[in-house]
Amino acid sequence: MAIEEPDAADLLLRVSRRLLRRVGDRLAPLGVTQAQVRALRALDREHRPVRMGLLAERLDVVPRSATSLIDALAAAGLVRREADPDDRRAVAVSLTPEGRRTLVAVRRVRRQVADELLAPLDRDQRAALRSLLEAVAASGPARAGP
């Protein structure tokens, strides 16, 4: 039985896994995981303190998982909890200055890893790949329904 040639989906998954694995390895010295980075990035996009329930929704996780992520990030000094200004009974979360510095370092790591993975491509090929990826990213929701 012959093995099929990898199709575009196989290749995209292979490159994605390689990217995630390398980024994950390089995040270890920063003391954050990929999941924690997702939470930091979600908070950064909001530009204001975010309620835990909304953060869980943005991350597409159950509230308990968001709480565990925030517990670890708060212990590391990367986020802070505060009373929600609209509902003092609710808890909101925001980035600390150290959390923002960590995000800058994470972005640098991600760019370095991407540059290494894309090293075999010349400038025109990289531009074409970026254009194609932007078209795919803009074509619909990041996640299908249940």
Q: What length is written for the chain?
A: 146
Ramachandran sector of residue 32 (left: φ over 0; alpha: ψ -120 to 50; beta: rest): beta
If pLDDT is split at 50, 70 and 90, which confidence band does 35 have?
A: very high
- In the block, residue with structure tokens 């597409």: 60
Q: What is the pLDDT of residue 139?
A: 87
Q: How would residue 36 be classed by pLDDT, with cut points 50, 70 and 90?
A: very high
CATH topology of domain 29-137: Arc Repressor Mutant, subunit A (1.10.10)
- Say whether pLDDT at 128 is over 90: yes
Q: Tell me, what's the pLDDT at 91?
A: 87
**Residue 95: which of 54, 25, 36 has the closest Cα?**
36
Q: Tell me, what DSSP letter sits at residue 51?
A: E
Q: Where are the domains of the chain?
A: 29-137
> What is the C-alpha to C-alpha distance for residues 4 and 105, in angstroms, rounded to an integer?
40
| pTM summary value | 0.81
Flag whether pLDDT at 126 surpasses 50: yes
| Res 146 pLDDT > 80 | no
State the Cα angle at 134 between 115 and 17, rounded to 5°: 50
Measured between alpha carbons, how far is residue 25 from residues 7, 19, 73, 102, 113 in Å? Answer: 27, 10, 18, 15, 10
